[in-house]
Amino acid sequence: MLATPNRFTLVTGFGEGKTKLNAFDAALLASGLGNLNLIKVSSILPPGAKYQRKLEIPFGSLVPTAYGSISSIEPGELIAAAVAVGIPVADTFGVIMETSDFCSKSEIEERITEMVIEAFTLRNIEYQEIKVCAVEHQVTHCGAVFASLALWYDL
């Protein structure tokens, strides 16, 4: 079993590239996670994890990450990604949701907030705060967007 992360950071990025993978890589770099090894995880914020605005971990680290991303090769198309986390009232776990779609930032922010509220309702847990991080991008050639909640550890 891996250690439980005690920090989390929300980031977004967008990018263009010659291929979808290069566009995704550019979006990762723009978010600040491009030089890390992301481990995609499902959507639970560990109990007691504290928000930190800036990620402070060494390049190449393995980083548990909940993220949404999407890419497109249609010039002019609007793409968006969002991640949100509900912080519980009680001293228990929180819930993370992530999504992406062909829509605006405001549309995806509304959708992701509703997703977090429903997740708390399903678990019969009260939340005190919902943090949302979203990005949109109008594709030029081959574009990608990325929104993430990175889980990490005190160094």
* Residues with active-site annotation: 37, 42-43, 98
Give the neighbor-by-neighbor strand order of the sheet with 78-88.
44-45, 94-101, 78-88, 127-138
Amino acid identity of residue 8, one-letter, is F
Calpha distance 116→36 (Å, rounded): 27
Distances (CA, A) of 98 to 124, 150, 154: 20, 12, 24
